[in-house]
Structure 1
Amino acid sequence: MPRFVRRQYAAAGGYVFAKSAEEIARENGLDRVARLASNENPFPPSDAAVAAGLAALKEGNRYPAGHPDAVFRALKAVHGDHAFIIGNGMDGVIETVMRTVVDPGDRVVVSTPTFSFYGLAAAAQGAEVVNVPREPDFSADAGRFIEACRGAKLAFLCTPNNPTGNAVPVETVREILDGIDCLLFLDNAYIEFSDIDYRPLMKEYDNLIEGRTMSKAYSLAGLRFGYAFVPDRLLPHLDSASTPFAVNTVALAAAGAALADQAHIREAVAHVRGWRDRFMAEIPLPVTPSDANFILVDVAPLTGDEAMERLAARGVIVRSCRSFPGLEDHYIRVSIGADWENELFLRGIAGL
């Protein structure tokens, strides 16, 4: 092990990134490729968000406000009178929560297969990570999850879930909250693409955090703005643990303007839902029903890597799900992109 490096980082590991569009194009001699691997919004940010971000860039020589009241007012205008924290993407919010509540040796429970960063962030904090497998249809078993949470400090449940796309019913989340003593982090990164609303639960439970991001529906993936609804009693402690100036001036301005432009969100959501229905109907392989802006495709007898490489040769980047713990190695995750990208994918998947 290299000197000074912690054991968990001495070997290969960490978050797995999809190949870049530039790599795929270069390897296959293509002029352009469909980027359907990272659950991005194919639409650019709204005009209002772009204008606000450009104006803020002129103040880039100054630190942002320590407590950016404007963006908190924008969040409350959309969501109502809740307590919020913000961070450098959802990842930054998760890290703040970890620093605030998790001591080395604490148990952190994760419903799997899911976004790998929960386990990575917990391990970085010195926690014991306990994975709770979902059912064969990727639903969450409340009883099994509750049992795993006994003696835990924090638990993670992603809904709609990445990479499976399915959402956990509100009543199942309520059952879990009624049965656990730990804090539950409900990751709602893809919630705008579903019909489910977990926000009323924030008024009922003081052990619930609902994480959100503006990377997906709001088209701000490159600016990294995340936020979370948090219990009032935890807010001052979370603020104390937050990284100073974690969200930059441009992201703050663009996020505030994007929140005020809900028409942009409605357009993006309508686009995703229309194509999601087409994918479900036209993909000639098993597809998991999705409430997100992506779908999970079972490509057996191919492996996820094999399907990914074959589609890349056709100019389509998708995500092999080999790196998701608890998921068998015959799935790919496909984001819903622009019209031309989706058409190219449907032609490619038909030829696998």
Structure 2
Amino acid sequence: MEHLVRSCYKQGGYVFAKKAANLVGDGRVARLASNENPESPSPVAIEAAKDAVLTANRYPDERVDVLVSALSAYYGDYNFVAGVGMDGVIETLMRTLVDPGNTVAVASPTFSFYGIAAQAQGAKVIAVRRRPDFSVDTDVLIREGRDAKIVVLCTPNNPTGNSTSFDDVQRILDGIGGVLFLDNAYVEFSGTDYLPLMRKYENLVIGRTFSKVHSLAGLRIGYAFVPVWLQPFYLRAGTPFTVNAVSAAAAAAALTDRAHAERYIAQVIVWRKKFSTDLKFPVLPSDANFVMVDVRPFTSDEVVEKLAAKGVLVRSCRSFTGLADHYIRVSIGEDWENERLIRELNAL
């Protein structure tokens, strides 16, 4: 019966980070493969989640008002939508806007789910290559994406870690006819604020997540700033009751604990610099909570296996389309995790 499966799913798909590793002397595994915050969620988020569980016999609010209200209090007067992680936002946005045969242009190499979600809607996906230093060639992206229904740009970019400037994003918005989806999953670590563009452009959607800076990766909660015209159609296209009440309550509460987020941001800034100075392999400049490391003469998979044997999990970048097979992505973890990574990677 495999002939019934759509051709776009007969191979490929999202590649997950390595999950298992040998335990070393202290029995701990350094989990630096998935860009997670190593700290547990904020205590106020945990308490809010506990309270929300008591009402789990009821369907959640379909508009996620508790979260939207908290986002408005935190950011100001913008229009918000939510999803099951950033992936859910991406998927619903594609469902809302893309018809079979439409074009979706993606600045690549980058997060693979953009293409997967676009293919699910029958779109033609154009991977627009970045420059050799992984910066975005705005002229090329505008040319390739001028007639696209959606242009996708991740900044800071996953897995390369570099950001696209405010001015370049504005230039892209001026040059395309469709919607620019700006994935800002890592923006809190970058010091760049793209939100002023929301006041000027009707074709901009900015996606963000609670998975990174707010330590809620396991609750799968993402959100987006959207133009007012798009909000009702996004809600119409979304899966009913997709954001659960526990995740929404925890996320809303997490926004009130700024110290929790600022603690991890400070940790990231310190260790990004330390990785750059202490690792014997070249480390690319990063504005995210991870760095990409060039591990030549090894391949990325070889290094992932060698480090896993020493109790360190990192991400091979081999599966990122258009990226050479000698890069690994390393998340910023706890001090002991980062120290072990430096020791074991340098030992190679």
- TM normalised by structure 1 equals 0.97
Preserved contact between residue 89 and residue 226 of structure 1 (Cα < 8 Å): yes
Write out aligned runs for 1:1-352 (5 A).
2-9=2-9, 11-20=10-19, 23-25=20-22, 31-352=27-348
- The 2-side partners of 1:306 and 1:59 are apart by 48
- The 1-side partners of 2:208 and 2:225 are apart by 8
- The 2-side partners of 1:52 and 1:276 are apart by 32
3-state SS of the aligned residue for 1:247?
coil
* Deviation (angstroms), 1:277: 1.1
Number of residue-to-residue matches in the alignment: 348
Consecutive unaligned residues in structure 2, runs of 5 or more: none
Amino acid at match of 1:230: V
- The 1-side partners of 2:165 and 2:158 are apart by 16
- The 2-side partners of 1:340 and 1:239 are apart by 43
C-alpha change, 1:119 and 1:29, in structure 2 (3 Å) is farther
Preserved contact between residue 87 and residue 227 of structure 1 (Cα < 8 Å): yes
Preserved contact between residue 25 and residue 32 of structure 1 (Cα < 8 Å): no
- The 2-side partners of 1:36 and 1:207 are apart by 35
* Deviation (angstroms), 1:29: 8.9
The superposition leaves residues 8-61 of structure 1 with CA deviations (integer Å, 9 ceiling, x where unpaired) of: 22x3321101121xx2137x8982210000000011100000010011111111
3-state SS of the aligned residue for 1:25?
coil
- The 1-side partners of 2:61 and 2:337 are apart by 40
- The 2-side partners of 1:210 and 1:350 are apart by 38
Preserved contact between residue 147 and residue 176 of structure 2 (Cα < 8 Å): no
- The 2-side partners of 1:117 and 1:30 are apart by 36
- The 2-side partners of 1:282 and 1:205 are apart by 43
Preserved contact between residue 64 and residue 243 of structure 2 (Cα < 8 Å): no
3-state SS of the aligned residue for 1:266?
helix
3-state SS of the aligned residue for 1:308?
helix
Consecutive unaligned residues in structure 1, runs of 5 or more: none
Amino acid at match of 1:309: E
User: What fraction of aligned residue pairs are identical, expressed as a percent?
Assistant: 58
- The 2-side partners of 1:332 and 1:278 are apart by 17
Preserved contact between residue 22 and residue 310 of structure 2 (Cα < 8 Å): no
3-state SS of the aligned residue for 2:4?
coil
Preserved contact between residue 30 and residue 315 of structure 1 (Cα < 8 Å): no
Amino acid at match of 2:269: R
Preserved contact between residue 320 and residue 331 of structure 1 (Cα < 8 Å): yes
Amino acid at match of 2:53: L
- The 1-side partners of 2:322 and 2:132 are apart by 11
* Deviation (angstroms), 1:3: 3.9
* Deviation (angstroms), 1:150: 2.4
- The 1-side partners of 2:337 and 2:190 are apart by 22
The superposition leaves residues 142-186 of structure 1 with CA deviations (integer Å, 9 ceiling, x where unpaired) of: 100000012211110000000000000000001111111111000
